């Protein structure tokens, strides 16, 4: 007797059989991507991602037996994805990441290949290959684990010339100028500076920039190492106070502590704010989605224009490394060779997309705004001593950087925490992490 249920069960059973055969046929069930497939994982988006894809295509044409697949990872998910990816059976062959602390983390865990020999042979192909900044970004216990790719700095303020003209604004040279501009703009519905700190780092960068001016790179490095300086030293509190005052002066839009980076870009690009501070990668965004005004950039204002700081916040925030456990290190070296070779024009492609690439000769493809930033960084990199410092969260453990610095800076900008309190919290976190 064929009853309703047995028909139902048959239906379910056939569904499972169908699913199983689909799995078997497509081979999806076992190991997707094939064990040991070649891949390069990166964080580029928009035109930068296009450049990466062009480079990969170029490599694949030259090496048809060793084709690489590219995988773009959204910036927010990078931590989760890279961690699980590195310890999986299918790690990437080549990895693009952000250097500095991440180099320490990944190399320290044995996940990156020691490429010191390769680097010594090829560093001449890179502008500033000998600089201290590269060592900071890529060295761990005396060995090199990554190659520099794109450099950037946050030492600029992008501005909207249409709004500048409309409100008769004088381009600011000092931090105090910003406060007077805020007074000028009161009631107009337009804000001075686009800043949304929901992601933390946009506000943290302001504090970093101010700290470099107030304290100098050496002191920051000492505080990061908790050796010779502390985060609640006077100059850091001063920098926190600068940020706090800016917030109180109404320089930032309402709701500064929330919303994400995309919304922050939206404010600037839609003409609701006059200025915005962010890294030079923004040039790439301007190439992707050009607004209806011709964005300009001026150097980041100084706390004291009479004594400007020559040191800059920035560094090699896009680096490439070969992973240690993919089993495909030979192919990895080939990929790095391809990247470094000026003849393949890999660097040029990235420069065209608006990123500041450091392969020799790549600056030929940079537009004037990007080239100006490149020159600023070059000047600082060529000076003796430490004049370029990476984003601070890359120098300290996450509980200090991504937690205390990010959240604290957002709170400073929003005026919900006092400068002294901010500094004390930060120092407490750093001391706890050091143990």
Partner 1 sequence: MARTDMPGAAAISTGRQASTRPGNKESRREDRRRSDRRRKRLQGHSALGATGFILPGYIFYGGFLLIPLILTLLLSFTSWDGISYDNIQPNGVENYIQLTRDPVFLQALAHNGIFLVTTIVLKVIVSFGLALAVRRAFLGSGFFRAVFVIPSILSLIVVSLLLKFFLDPNNGLINPALKAVGLGGLAGPWLSDPSRALPMLILLDVWLGFGLFLFVFLAGMSSLPAEVSEAAKVDGAKPWQETLFVTIPLLGPTFRLVFLLAAIESLKVFATVYVATSGGPNHATEVLATWAFFQAFTGNKVGYGSAIMTVLLVATLILAFFYVRANQKGQQR
Partner 2 sequence: MTVGNPTTELVLEDARNENTRGRASAVVRRVILYVVLGIVSLTIILPVLWMLSTSLRDNGSVLIHPFDFSGKWGFDNYISLFTSGEILDWLGSSIFVNVVSVALIGVLSVLGAYGFSAYNFRGKNVLFVIVIVGLTIPPQALVIAGFRWISLFDLQDTYLSLIFTYGGWTSFGILLMRNFFDSVPKELREAAIMDGASQLRIFAQVYLPLARSPLVTVLIFTAVWVWNDFIYPLVYIQTEQMYTLPVGVLQFTGRTTVELATQMAVLTFATALPLIMYLIFRKQFMRGLLEGAVKG
Q: 3-state class of 312 per DSSP? A: strand
Candidate residues 220, 396, 410, 426; the one interacting with partner 1 per rule CB under 8 A: 410
Find the shortest distance in angstroms from Cβ 380 to partner 1: 29
Interaction residues for partner 2, span 58-87 (CB under 8 A): 71-77, 80-81, 84-85, 87
Nearest alpha carbon to residue 107 among 277, 322, 360: 322
**Closer of 146 and 151 to partner 1 (Cβ):** 146
Report yes or no: 239 and 215 within 8 Å, Cβ to Cβ. Answer: yes
**Closer of 75 and 367 to partner 2 (Cβ):** 75
Where does 176-311 show beta strands of DSSP type E?
Answer: 191-194, 273-276, 296-299
> Applying CB under 8 A, does 21 fall inside the site for partner 1?
no
* Interaction pattern, residues 259-298, with partner 1; x per rule: CB under 8 A: xx--x--xx--x-x--------------------------
> Applying CB under 8 A, does 226 fall inside the site for partner 2?
no
> Applying CB under 8 A, does 338 fall inside the site for partner 1?
no
DSSP class of residue 361 equals T
The span from the CA of 115 to the CA of 121, in Å, is 10
Nearest alpha carbon to residue 273 among 265, 282, 285, 283: 265
H/E stretch holding 105 reads: helix 101-108
> Applying CB under 8 A, does 266 fall inside the site for partner 2?
yes
Say how far residue 31 (Cα) sits from the centre of its chain: 32
DSSP class of residue 404 equals I
Nearest alpha carbon to residue 322 among 307, 334, 332, 312: 332
Phi, psi (rounded to 5 degrees) for 321: -140, 160
Query: Near partner 1 by CB under 8 A, which window of 10-18, 193-201, 232-240, 367-375?
Result: 193-201
Interaction residues for partner 2, span 308-367 (CB under 8 A): none
> Applying CB under 8 A, does 141 fall inside the site for partner 2?
no
Interface size with partner 1, residues (CB under 8 A): 43
The span from the CA of 218 to the CA of 207, in Å, is 16
**Closer of 28 and 124 to partner 2 (Cβ):** 28
Q: Which does 165 bind (CB under 5 to 8 A by kind): partner 1, partner 2, none?
A: none
> Applying CB under 8 A, does 256 fall inside the site for partner 1?
yes
Find the shortest distance in angstroms from Cβ 292 to partner 2: 7
Candidate residues 33, 255, 305, 327; the one interacting with partner 1 per rule CB under 8 A: 255
Query: Near partner 2 by CB under 8 A, which window of 106-114, 247-255, 260-268, 331-339?
Result: 260-268
> Applying CB under 8 A, does 250 fall inside the site for partner 1?
no
Candidate residues 53, 63, 90, 424; the one interacting with partner 2 per rule CB under 8 A: 90
> Applying CB under 8 A, does 21 fall inside the site for partner 2?
no
322 burial via Cβ count (<10 Å: 0-12, 13-18, 19+): buried
In angstroms, the Cα distances linking 390 to 32, 101, 251, 369 are 37, 10, 26, 21
H/E stretch holding 143 reads: strand 143-144
Interaction residues for partner 1, span 97-126 (CB under 8 A): 105-106, 109-111
Q: Which does 15 bind (CB under 5 to 8 A by kind): partner 2, partner 1, none?
A: partner 2
Report yes or no: 149 and 316 within 8 Å, Cβ to Cβ. Answer: yes
Neighbour-count burial for 373-397, b at 16+ CB within 10 Å, e otherwise: bbebbbebbeeeebbbbbbbbbbbb
In the complex, which residues of this chain contact partner 2 (CB under 8 A)?
1, 3-6, 8-9, 12, 15-16, 19, 22-23, 28-33, 45-46, 49, 71-77, 80-81, 84-85, 87-90, 261-262, 265-266, 269-271, 285, 288-289, 291-292
In the complex, which residues of this chain contact partner 1 (CB under 8 A)?
3-4, 79-80, 83, 86-87, 105-106, 109-111, 191, 196-200, 253-260, 263, 266-267, 270, 272, 397-399, 402-403, 407-408, 410-411, 414, 416-417
């Amino acid at each position: 007797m064929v009853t309703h249920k047995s028909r139902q069960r048959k239906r379910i059973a056939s569904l499972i059989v169908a699913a199983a055969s689909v799995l078997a046929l497509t081979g999806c069930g076992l190991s997707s991507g094939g064990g040991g497939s070649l891949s390069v994982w990166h964080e580029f988006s928009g035109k930068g991602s296009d450049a990466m894809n062009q480079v990969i295509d170029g490599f694949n044409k030259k090496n048809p037996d060793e084709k690489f697949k590219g995988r773009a990872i959204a910036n927010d998910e990078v931590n989760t994805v890279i961690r699980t990816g590195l310890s999986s059976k299918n790690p990437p062959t080549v990895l693009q990441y952000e250097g500095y602390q991440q180099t320490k983390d990944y190399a320290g865990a044995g996940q990156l290949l020691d490429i010191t020999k390769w680097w010594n042979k090829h560093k001449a192909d890179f502008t500033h290959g000998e600089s201290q900044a590269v060592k900071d970004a890529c060295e761990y216990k005396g060995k090199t684990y990554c190659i520099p790719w794109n450099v950037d700095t946050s030492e600029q303020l992008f501005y909207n010339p249409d709004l500048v003209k409309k409100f008769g604004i004088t381009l600011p040279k000092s931090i105090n100028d910003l406060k007077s501009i805020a007074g000028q703009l009161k009631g107009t519905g337009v804000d001075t500076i686009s800043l949304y700190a929901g992601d933390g780092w946009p506000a943290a960068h302001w504090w970093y920039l101010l700290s470099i001016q107030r304290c100098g790179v050496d002191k920051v490095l000492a505080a990061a190492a908790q050796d010779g300086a502390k985060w609640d030293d006077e100059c850091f509190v001063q920098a926190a106070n600068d940020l706090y005052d800016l917030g109180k002066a109404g320089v930032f839009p309402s709701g500064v502590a929330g919303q994400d980076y995309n919304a922050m870009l939206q404010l600037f690009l839609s003409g609701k704010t006059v200025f915005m501070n962010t890294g030079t990668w923004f040039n790439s965004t301007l190439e992707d989605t050009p607004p209806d005004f011709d964005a300009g950039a001026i150097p980041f204002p100084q706390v004291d224009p009479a004594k400007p700081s020559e040191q800059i916040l920035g560094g090699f925030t896009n680096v490439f490394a070969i992973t240690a456990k993919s089993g495909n290190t030979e192919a990895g070296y080939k990929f790095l060779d391809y990247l470094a070779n000026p003849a393949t024009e890999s660097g040029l492609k990235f420069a065209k997309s608006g990123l500041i690439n450091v392969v020799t000769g790549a600056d030929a493809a940079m537009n004037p705004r990007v080239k100006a930033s490149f020159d600023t960084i070059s000047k600082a990199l060529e000076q003796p001593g430490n004049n370029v410092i990476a984003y601070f969260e890359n120098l300290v453990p996450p509980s200090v950087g991504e937690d205390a610095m990010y959240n604290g800076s957002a709170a400073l900008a929003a005026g919900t925490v006092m400068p002294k309190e901010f500094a004390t919290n930060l120092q407490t976190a750093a001391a706890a992490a050091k143990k």
